[in-house]
């Protein structure tokens, strides 16, 4: 299995796709993002995603988290498209101005 495909197989039947997300955040705004994050995490959960972890790197003003979805990358991308167009996601962002200045995304595979 290649890193490009970034699939984590649990047992012999369940494949999870994991996306690592790293956000560079405006100086002084990381706490506001951390406070708001549970709002969007709940929406992700409703659409079948699981937040694997979320960390705030205060020294570098970055927010790093990973999200998984059952299936391969195509299943992840399909669910992501549905989630991105959802009214719940729109509601979560309504009135919230994101302090994220740069986003870095990649699919990853468990290495340990």
CATH number of residue 39's parent domain: 3.30.70.100
Residue 30 placed within a domain: yes
Q: What is the reported pLDDT for 13?
A: 60
Query: Using only C-alpha atoms, what is the Rg of the chain?
Result: 15
Residue 78 placed within a domain: yes
Residue 67 placed within a domain: yes
Residue 2 placed within a domain: no
Question: Helix, strand, or coil here: 58?
Answer: coil
Give the confidence band of 5 by pLDDT, cuts at 50, 70, 90.
Answer: very low
User: Tell me: the pLDDT tens digits for 20-41?
Assistant: 999 999 999 999 999 999 999 9
Q: How many domains does the chain have?
A: 1
Domain that holds residue 96: 7-108
Residue 1 placed within a domain: no
């Amino acid at each position: 299995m290649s890193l490009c495909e970034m699939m984590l197989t649990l047992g012999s039947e369940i494949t999870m796709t994991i996306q690592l997300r790293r956000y560079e955040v405006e100086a002084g705004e990381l706490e506001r993002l951390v406070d708001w994050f549970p709002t969007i995490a709940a929406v992700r959960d409703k659409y079948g995603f699981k937040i694997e972890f979320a960390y705030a790197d205060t020294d570098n003003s970055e927010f790093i988290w990973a999200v998984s979805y059952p299936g391969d990358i195509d299943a992840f991308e399909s669910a992501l498209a549905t989630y991105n167009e959802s009214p719940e996601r729109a509601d979560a962002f309504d009135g919230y101005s994101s302090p994220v200045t740069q986003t870095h995304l990649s699919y990853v595979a468990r290495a340990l």
